[in-house]
Amino acid sequence: QVQYMESGGGLVQPGGSLKLSCAASRDTPIVAWYRQAPGKQRDFVAFITNLGSTNYADSVRGRFRIYRDNAKNTVNLQMNTLKPEDSAVYYCNTMPPQDALWGQGTQVTVST
């Protein structure tokens, strides 16, 4: 089965940017990013299909961009104008997500 590995998280100030990368062991029709803040449920952030169609959660639309880097075989999430409420562990998975495919995620902290 496919395996996902997330990277690129870190500490950034409000208004800053980060790029997350999701490496998959094989191509899947849809790859999505999710995030989970402490004490909250895991929420959908964005997805991209193998045809390049995308969709975003309302909370990130206009600030985040999901795209495929075919040269590196990754699905990236460019996050701009970051807010403290974007702080979470970010994961990639299929859509709908499969429990067996959750990885360790990558931590994003937006703080002064």
pLDDT of residue 59: 97
81-to-1, 30, 70, 90, 100 alpha-carbon distances in Å: 35, 26, 26, 17, 32
pLDDT in tens, 42-88: 999 999 999 999 999 999 999 999 999 988 889 999 999 999 999 99
pLDDT in tens, 13-38: 999 999 999 998 888 889 999 999 99
